[in-house]
């Protein structure tokens, strides 16, 4: 019996019970669509996190002060006073460093007219714009002159400006930060993102102003600094030179733990990627359960079909059909249900991926590998859960089958 004939017989058999065939396919459609959609969600989440991290700065390195210890209790990184402005000046001279921006931060209550918000106030220098990869929307950014003079001027993040009801005409107006008047000189373009420590929800003021009015200290110590490396290829070499320079400046002996930390974007991206991959595998594993359920549904329907067509099987054997012909026919029927259901599931999963991507903001994520794996998995499900019913049909005794009512 030719394979084309087997296909024709299989399609006719499936067409006789259209509703049952469609409902059986539904399990495969849901399972495959879930796997494809969740795989796309994982890829989209990874892409979104990576772009957010890269958006924090251009080839960014972050240096934090060490942790202080009080009463036997160790504080968080940045709580010690191990970094100074002299360290910033020394690092700025290292080859491959495009810019260095020291940072002091605090939370403050900000008021503009009848609106108010509580946000992060960052004391920094003019290089912060380059280091953190910001663009000015309106007005200007901090200048060396405003930092040296300790002027009470402020640059607002996009979210902060929105929360205060300020628009393009806000430049030149006054706001209150922790009860002190500040002149708004600029508003930054939005970077996107929300939640804790959003890149758009902050106010930048001169470092000297921050130290004088908010930190209550006239010392040159800082908690952290960000720096931009000229090219990505220089990241590791610059990081090594910075570590060596700071250890030498802080008189740290060989083998002594550094009283500072240097972090780069690669570490953050790698960690985020590992978390996203683990989450994707977990979600994919959960979605695969529905595929197994769909396969069990196929096996159940094929067993019912064998019982209903027992007499037909007996007649076909009586006129010369071999066991392998019967086996192949029922196996092809199971594969047809599984494959068509899988293809429809892939289409549904791609549509769901596009919708989720549009709502989440990372766009449509498509991976040919995911599609190939989903198609292969559909075929495997058809074979695994179709073999037993097909063997049941092939093993029927023709005489017993002909007597079956």
DSSP track, 17-59: THHHHHHHHHHHHHHHHHHHHHHHHHHHHHHHHHHHHHHT-TT
Band of pLDDT at residue 178, cut at 50, 70 and 90: very high
CA distance 197 to 121: 11
Q: Is the Cβ–Cβ distance between 303 and 389 less than 8 Å? A: yes
Q: What is the mean pLDDT of residues 84-104?
A: 91
Which residue, among 298, 302, 299, 323, has the nearest Cα to 401 in the 3D structure? 323
**Cα–Cα–Cα angle for 319, 322, 328, rounded to 5 degrees:** 120
For the entire predicted model, the pTM comes to: 0.59
What is the rounded CA–CA span in Å between residue 104 and residue 84? Answer: 11
Nearest residue to 374 via CA among 16, 9, 28, 32: 32
Q: Helix %, strand %, coil % for the chain, to 5? A: 55, 20, 25
Q: Are 166 and 184 in contact (CB under 8 A)?
A: yes
Greater confidence (255 vs 348) lies with: 348
- Cβ count within 10 A of residue 369: 8
47's tokens: 């892409």
pLDDT, residue 192, reads: 66
CA geometry: angle at 224 spanning 108 and 46, to 5°?
90
Q: So what's the pLDDT on residue 264?
A: 80
Tokens of 62: 């972050």
- Banded model confidence at residue 119, pLDDT cuts 50, 70, 90: very high
Count other Cβ atoms within 10 Å, centred on residue 92: 15
pLDDT at 204: 95
C-alpha closest to that of 110 among 193, 39, 65, 174: 174
Range of lowest pLDDT (143-152, 165-174, 377-386): 377-386
Residue 16 contacts by C-beta under 8 Å, 6 or more apart in sequence? none
pLDDT tens-digit profile of 9-27?
Answer: 777 777 777 888 888 888 8
Instruction: Read off the pLDDT band of 183 (50, 70, 90).
Output: very high
**Mean per-residue pLDDT, 362-371:** 76
pLDDT of residue 404: 54
Q: What percent of the chain has pLDDT over 90?
A: 28
CA distance 371 to 346: 7
- The C-alpha atoms of residue 336 and residue 314 are separated, in whole angstroms, by 23
């Amino acid at each position: 019996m030719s394979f084309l004939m087997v296909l024709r017989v299989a399609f006719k058999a499936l067409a006789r019970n259209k509703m049952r065939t469609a409902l059986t396919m539904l399990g495969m459609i849901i399972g495959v669509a879930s796997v494809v959609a969740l795989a796309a969600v994982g890829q989209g989440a990874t892409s979104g996190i990576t772009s957010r991290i890269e958006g924090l700065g251009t080839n960014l390195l972050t240096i934090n002060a060490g942790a202080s210890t009080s009463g036997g209790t160790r504080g968080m990184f940045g709580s010690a006073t191990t970094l100074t402005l002299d360290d910033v000046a020394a690092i700025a001279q290292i080859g491959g460093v495009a810019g260095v921006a020291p940072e002091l931060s605090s939370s403050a209550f900000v008021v503009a007219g009848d609106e108010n918000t509580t946000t992060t106030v960052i004391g920094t220098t003019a290089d912060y714009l380059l280091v953190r990869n910001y663009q000015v929307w309106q007005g200007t950014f901090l200048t060396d002159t405003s930092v040296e003079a300790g002027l009470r001027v402020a640059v607002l993040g996009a979210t902060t400006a929105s929360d205060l009801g300020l628009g393009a005409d806000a430049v030149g107006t006054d706001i209150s930060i922790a009860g002190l008047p500040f002149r708004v000189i600029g508003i930054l373009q939005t970077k996107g993102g929300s939640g804790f420590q959003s890149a758009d929800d902050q106010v930048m003021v001169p470092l000297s102003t921050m130290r004088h009015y908010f930190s209550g200290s006239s010392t040159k110590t800082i908690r952290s600094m960000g720096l931009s490396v000229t090219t990505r290829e220089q990241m590791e070499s610059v990081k090594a030179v910075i570590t060596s320079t700071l250890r030498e400046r802080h008189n740290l002996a060989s083998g002594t733990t550094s009283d500072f930390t240097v972090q780069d974007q690669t570490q953050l991206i790698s960690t985020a990627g590992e978390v996203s991959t683990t989450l994707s595998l977990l979600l994919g594993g959960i979605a695969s359960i529905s595929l197994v359920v769909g396969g069990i549904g196929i096996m159940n329907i094929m067993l019912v079909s064998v019982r209903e067509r027992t007499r037909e099987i007996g007649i076909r054997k009586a006129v010369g059909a071999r066991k392998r012909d019967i086996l192949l026919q029922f196996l092809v029927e199971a594969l047809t249900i599984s494959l068509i259901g899988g293809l429809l599931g892939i289409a549904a999963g791609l549509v769901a991926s596009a919708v989720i991507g549009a709502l989440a903001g990372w766009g449509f994520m498509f991976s040919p590998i995911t599609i190939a794996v989903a198609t292969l998995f559909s075929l495997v499900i058809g074979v695994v859960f179709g073999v037993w019913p097909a063997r049941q049909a092939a093993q029927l005794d023709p005489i017993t089958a002909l007597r079956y009512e």
